[in-house]
């Protein structure tokens, strides 16, 4: 297969098309706009639906409608735009229908800036919309992985009647890398047993809703969502590991922070430090089990993120205080350089680590001392 050089945002758009994306609704926002721009040409060319909505609120509710009809549907946005979509996303979760939402994250909170950031981790993984629901969240670190996960996201969303979010930062959206595109799949609109696609006088009426006025009925729904989530946790955890076999220390980072850490880990290895890297690919479900296994044979962990330590909390849940956890973060749209992560690895490998310290507070003190 020949390789082609693609920009992350456009690659996600084409991957979605090839995965059978039948309808796209969106609204422009940097650094995501190329997805929308690309699909504005590509979708009509194939006779599929592209619609630039009047706002993010409009776009997500159009996604809601199309998803109810059993259509493969997607929207994409960037942090402030995704915030606007949260009400609709909660309704989609409550209605138990599949939908794909891509967040090309930028610096925040508020209007923030358009630089690469991972500050929406908690927003994606632990909440966002109101109510008890558990979104699947995928975090690619390269253009090829963004393509592969886009294709996967539709299958996962449909398999579990769930929201599947892809979170990447602006740098992956804007970066070009050699990739291989998947084969073009024809659109196959499945007649899901739940889809409100017109009974044509041939079957019973189907109702899709997120309203359960009876609290006991809502509780049953919440339990159904939780049961589904347990299957997802069991079967859909994905991660990549580097140099873990003999690692005494392990760096954990997702997306761009993870690949920057790879450069640092290689440099540290060249200096004789036995360090490895774990890069979660699904940040929800989180790879708790593999961390649990690592904890039993390593001396310490270093979490690296482009936020104030949002994934750090999930790592600490896996670790349960058994080994020291350290943290390094850059904020506001600043991407760490490998040498910063390398000095952190050197610090962790050469200091007497303690189980008692709060990694975020220690890191904060170091940041403020600079």
Partner 1 sequence: MQKEIIIAGFGGQGVLFSGQVVAYAAMDSGRQVTWIPSYGPEMRGGTANCTIVIADNEIGSPLVKNPPLAIALNLPSFDKYEDTLQKGGTLIVNQSMVDRGAKRGDIHVILVPCNEIAEEIGDKKLMNMVAVGALLTALPEITLKDVEKALEAHLPARHKHLLPKNYEALKRGFEAAQKIPA
Q: Which is nearer to partner 1, 49 or 113 (CB)?
A: 113
Q: Which is nearer to partner 1, 171 or 221 (CB)?
A: 171
362 binds partner 1 (CB under 8 A): no
81 binds partner 1 (CB under 8 A): no
303 binds partner 1 (CB under 8 A): no
Candidate segments 124-132, 207-215, 281-289, 334-342, binder of partner 1 by CB under 8 A: 334-342
Q: Is the distance from CB of 174 to CB of 187 less than 8 angstroms?
A: no
Query: Hey, which residues does 303 pair with through a beta bridge?
Result: 252, 327
Q: Is the distance from CB of 46 to CB of 186 less than 8 angstroms?
A: no
335 binds partner 1 (CB under 8 A): yes
30 binds partner 1 (CB under 8 A): yes
As a whole number of angstroms, the distance between CA 282 and CA 19 comes to 19
113 binds partner 1 (CB under 8 A): yes
| Residues sharing a CB contact under 8 Å with residue 72, sequence separation 6 or more, in sequence order | 19, 20, 21, 22, 23, 154, 158, 187, 189
40 binds partner 1 (CB under 8 A): no
Mark 240-259 with x for binding to partner 1 (rule: CB under 8 A) and - for no binding.
-------------------x
DSSP result, 316-370? HHHHTTSS-EEEEE--TTPPPPHHHHHHHHHHHHHS---SSS-HHHHHHHHHHH-
Given 10, 148, 169, 177, the residue binding partner 1 (CB under 8 A): 177
Q: Is the distance from CB of 150 to CB of 12 less than 8 angstroms?
A: yes
Candidate segments 19-27, 182-190, 263-271, 322-330, binder of partner 1 by CB under 8 A: 263-271
Given 170, 287, 300, 329, the residue binding partner 1 (CB under 8 A): 170
Q: Which is nearer to partner 1, 124 or 265 (CB)?
A: 265
98 binds partner 1 (CB under 8 A): no
How many CB atoms are located within 10 Å of the residue 279 CB? Answer: 23
Given 220, 321, 337, 354, the residue binding partner 1 (CB under 8 A): 337
222 binds partner 1 (CB under 8 A): no
**Nearest partner of 327 among 302, 346, 349, 348, judged by Cα:** 302
- Residues in contact with partner 1, total (CB under 8 A)? 26
Q: CB pairs under 8 A, 24+ apart, for 356-359?
A: 357/324, 359/303, 359/309, 359/312, 359/316, 359/325, 359/326, 359/327
Q: Which is nearer to partner 1, 5 or 220 (CB)?
A: 5
| CB of residue 241 to partner 1, shortest distance in Å | 13
* 332 token code pair: 């506001």
260 binds partner 1 (CB under 8 A): yes
As a whole number of angstroms, the distance between CA 226 and CA 184 comes to 34
| Contact residues: partner 1, CB under 8 A | 3, 5, 30-31, 113-115, 170-171, 174-178, 259-266, 335, 337-339
């Amino acid at each position: 297969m020949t390789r082609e050089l693609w920009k992350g945002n456009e690659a996600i758009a084409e991957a979605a098309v090839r995965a059978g994306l039948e309808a796209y609704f969106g609204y422009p926002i940097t650094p995501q706009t190329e997805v929308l721009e690309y699909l504005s040409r590509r979708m009509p060319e194939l006779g599929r639906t592209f619609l630039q909505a009047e706002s993010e609120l409009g776009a997500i509710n159009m996604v809601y409608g199309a998803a109810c009809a059993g259509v493969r549907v997607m929207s994409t946005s960037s942090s402030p735009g995704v915030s606007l979509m949260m009400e609709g996303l909660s309704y989609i979760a409550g209605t138990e229908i599949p939908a794909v939402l891509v967040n090309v994250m930028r610096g925040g909170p508020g209007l923030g800036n358009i630089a690469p950031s991972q500050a929406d981790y908690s927003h994606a993984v632990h909440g966002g919309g109101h109510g008890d629901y558990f979104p699947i969240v995928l975090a690619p670190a390269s253009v090829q992985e963004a393509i592969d996960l886009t294709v996967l996201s539709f299958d996962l969303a449909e398999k579990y009647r769930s929201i599947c979010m892809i979170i990447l930062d602006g740098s992956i959206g804007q970066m070009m890398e050699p990739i291989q595109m998947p084969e073009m799949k024809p659109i196959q609109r499945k007649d899901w047993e739940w889809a409100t696609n017109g009974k044509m006088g041939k079957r019973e009426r189907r109702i899709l809703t997120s309203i359960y006025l009876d609290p006991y009925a809502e509780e049953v729904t919440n339990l159904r969502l939780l049961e589904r989530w347990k299957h997802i946790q069991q079967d859909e955890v994905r991660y990549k590991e580097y140099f873990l076999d003999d690692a005494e220390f392990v760096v954990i980072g997702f997306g761009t922070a993870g690949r920057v850490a790879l450069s640092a880990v290689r440099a540290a290895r060249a200096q004789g430090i036995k360090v490895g890297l774990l890069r979660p690919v699904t940040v929800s479900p989180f790879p708790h089990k593999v961390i649990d296994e690592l904890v039993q044979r390593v001396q310490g962990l270093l979490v690296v993120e482009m936020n104030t330590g949002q994934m750090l909390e999930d790592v600490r849940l896996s670790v349960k205080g058994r080994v020291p956890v350290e943290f390094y973060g850059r904020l506001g749209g600043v991407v760490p350089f490998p040498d910063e992560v390398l000095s952190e690895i050197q610090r962790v490998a050469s200091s007497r680590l303690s189980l008692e310290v709060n990694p975020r507070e220690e890191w904060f003190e170091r940041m403020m001392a600079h």
